[in-house]
């Protein structure tokens, strides 16, 4: 039996049991029959200030889309800033400690991704609740404070205590990325309250981040020849990005479009409690069948893992230590252009092509991702010279343009393959388990990153084996 009534909520109304609220159907609301004979005040017929007799508000000037894209950029700012500033750390700050300078990219990779790895898997089996505002605000505040510490470390002369500086940097990177994992997870939860394209805005922002950070780093190095001055302004810029994320978050509730969809979700979950079971942020009383989910999505989880394993085994540790064959090729910008800019830009393009062209199909993606394993030996055969080591492996790829083509393919296939894997992983399980499969896919992604970073640690050993001298 269908039964409709209005329930007083203080700041809004909802339809209950059976009949879907008119504003959920995007239809004009005829209010007269609904309140006739009731004692409800007229102001309860507004949805947090949005009149129900109007069509759903639009995202004027795409302000909410751009705001979420900015937050997506903020989620990867910390990671990209530390790996892109390689010369500042290796050439300037750690010049007196060559042992840690040689493997700095591996160490910073571990410090960045291990907390993300722990958080990602923990959040699958133990749902982390809490108010999104609290999680976003506190994580951003702590990240900003850590950036302040990083700026202070850039200001002081640490040449006499390089190892202390190294460990302080590793500690700050660890905690910075730990709180960033909370921020990232919360931003995706925030975007889930809006239409699907707004989650895409967060992804787009994170894809743009790497390319933008390369240009920021480049700009400050052009403006000043001092590593110290460039690093100070560079990290201050990162801090301001996070501060802008902080400010714009509090501006979201002021927007009618955001308020409408936020309240719409709340009312929908109250009208149909069954939907709460599929809401990632809602508490669940039923344990997910993790074994079945792993079994059904194993192939796509493999694809996600292997894409990021190969990418991080090569980039940035090996990739950034490849030198030009032709003296003066691209000048002092060789590594910046062929490594950091090329990989980040092509990965971003790969994300876009995956959304436009779902090829390979679900069935053949494993072949595409497995072929990428060839990138590891191919890059080792380029003019790769790990810092502080004497290479014994012969250089077989002795053309800078061929190396650059490989760099383009590595970046594009990373973005394209990873996007397809994440798109396919939820389609192999029952709809009610899609959210859990997506979370497992995200955790597998981070696992592939950590495994790839760990493998990159042995790459210098591979190219300096004595066996190659006897060949």
Section 414-430 average pLDDT: 84
For residue 466, pLDDT beyond 90: no
For residue 209, pLDDT beyond 80: yes
- ∠ CA(393), CA(396), CA(399), 5° rounding? 130
For residue 195, pLDDT beyond 70: yes
Mean pLDDT (the chain) is: 81
How many C-beta atoms lie closer than 10 Å to residue 164's C-beta?
A: 10
Q: Which are the contacts of 469, defined by CB distance < 8 A and separation ≥ 6?
A: 392
Q: What is the pLDDT of residue 121?
A: 85
- Write out pLDDT tens, residues 297-339: 899 999 999 999 999 999 999 999 999 999 989 988 999 999 9
**What is the spatial distance between Cα 28 and Cα 32, in angstroms, rounded to a whole number?**
12
For residue 2, pLDDT beyond 60: no
Two tokens at 336?
Answer: 């910046």
Section 407-416 average pLDDT: 95
Section 181-197 average pLDDT: 78
- Residue with the two structure tokens 């390369």: 214
Contact (CB, 8 A) for 433 and 398? no
Let me know if domain 290-471 sits in CATH 1.10.3470: no
Q: What is the DSSP secondary-structure string of 218-268?
A: HHHHHH-S-HHHHHHHHHHHHHHHHHHHHHHHHHGGGSHHHHHHHHHHHHH
Q: Which long-range contacts (CB under 8 A, 24 or more apart) does 392-395 make?
A: 392/463, 392/464, 392/465, 392/466, 392/467, 392/468, 392/469, 393/462, 393/463, 393/464, 393/465, 393/468, 394/468, 394/471, 395/325
The percent of residues above 90 in pLDDT, for the chain, comes to 35
**What is the spatial distance between Cα 447 and Cα 102, in angstroms, rounded to a whole number?**
24
Stronger pLDDT, 441 or 283, i.e. the higher one: 441
Contact (CB, 8 A) for 216 and 86? no
- Write out pLDDT tens, residues 360-410: 988 899 999 999 999 999 999 999 999 888 999 999 999 999 999 999 999
Query: Of 155, 166, 162, 157, which is closest to residue 106 (Cα–Cα)?
Result: 166
Contact (CB, 8 A) for 286 and 274? no
Residue 47 burial (10 A CB sphere; 0-12, 13-18, 19+): buried
For residue 20, pLDDT beyond 60: no
For residue 428, pLDDT beyond 80: no
Domains 65-254 and 290-471 agree in fold: yes
Domain ranges of the chain: 65-254, 290-471
**What is the spatial distance between Cα 44 and Cα 9, in angstroms, rounded to a whole number?**
7
Contact (CB, 8 A) for 156 and 97? no
Q: How confident is the model at residue 141 (pLDDT cuts 50, 70, 90)?
A: very high
Q: What is the pLDDT of residue 362?
A: 87
- Write out pLDDT tens, residues 25-46: 444 444 443 444 444 444 434 4
Let me know if domain 65-254 sits in CATH 1.20.1250.20: yes
Q: What is the pLDDT of residue 410?
A: 97
Q: How confident is the model at residue 343 (pLDDT cuts 50, 70, 90)?
A: very high
Q: What is the pLDDT of residue 286?
A: 61
């Amino acid at each position: 039996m269908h039964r409709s009534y209005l329930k007083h909520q203080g700041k809004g109304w909802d339809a209950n049991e059976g009949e879907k609220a008119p504003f959920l159907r995007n239809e004009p609301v005829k209010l007269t029959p609904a309140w006739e004979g009731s004692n409800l005040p007229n102001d309860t017929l507004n949805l947090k200030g949005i009149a129900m007799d109007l069509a759903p508000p639009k995202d004027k000037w795409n302000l909410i889309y751009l705001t979420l894209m900015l937050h997506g950029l903020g989620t990867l700012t910390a990671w990209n800033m530390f790996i892109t500033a390689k010369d500042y750390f290796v050439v300037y700050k750690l010049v007196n400690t060559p042992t840690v300078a040689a493997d700095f990219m591996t160490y910073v990779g571990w410090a960045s991704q291990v907390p993300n790895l722990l958080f990602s898997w923990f959040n699958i089996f133990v749902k982390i609740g809490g108010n999104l505002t609290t999680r976003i605000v506190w994580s951003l505040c702590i990240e900003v404070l850590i950036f302040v510490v990083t700026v202070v470390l850039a200001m002081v002369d640490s040449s006499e205590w390089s190892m202390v500086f190294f460990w302080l940097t590793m500690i700050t990177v660890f905690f910075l990325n730990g709180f960033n994992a909370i921020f990232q997870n919360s931003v995706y939860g925030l975007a889930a309250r809006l239409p699907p394209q707004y989650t895409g805005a967060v992804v787009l922002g994170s894809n743009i981040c790497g390319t933008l950070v390369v240009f920021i780093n480049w700009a400050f190095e052009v403006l000043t020849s001092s590593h110290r001055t460039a690093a100070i302004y560079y990290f201050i810029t990162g801090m301001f990005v996070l501060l802008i994320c902080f400010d714009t978050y509090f501006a979201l509730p002021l927007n009618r479009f955001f308020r409408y969809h936020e309240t719409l979700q709340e009312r929908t979950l109250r009208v149909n409690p069954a939907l709460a079971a599929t809401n990632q942020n809602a508490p669940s009383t039923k344990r997910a069948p993790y074994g079945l989910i792993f079994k059904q999505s194993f192939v796509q989880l493999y694809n996600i893992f292997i894409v990021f394993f190969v990418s991080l085994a090569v980039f940035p540790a090996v990739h950034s230590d490849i030198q030009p064959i032709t003296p003066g090729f691209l000048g002092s910008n060789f590594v910046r252009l062929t490594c950091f800019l090329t990989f980040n830009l092509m990965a971003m393009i790969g994300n876009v092509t995956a959304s436009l062209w779902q090829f390979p199909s679900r069935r053949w993606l494993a072949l595409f991702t497995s072929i990428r394993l060839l990138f590891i030996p191919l890059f080792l055969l380029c003019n790769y010279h790990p810092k502080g080591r004497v290479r014994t492996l012969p250089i077989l790829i002795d053309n800078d343009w061929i190396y650059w083509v490989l760099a383009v393919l590595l970046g594009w296939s990373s973005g394209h393959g990873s996007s397809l894997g994440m798109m396919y992983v939820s389609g192999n399980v029952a709809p009610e388990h899609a959210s859990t499969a997506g979370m497992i896919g995200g955790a597998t992604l981070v696992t592939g990153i950590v495994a790839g970073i760990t493998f990159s640690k042995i790459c210098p050993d591979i190219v300096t084996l004595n066996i190659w001298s006897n060949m």
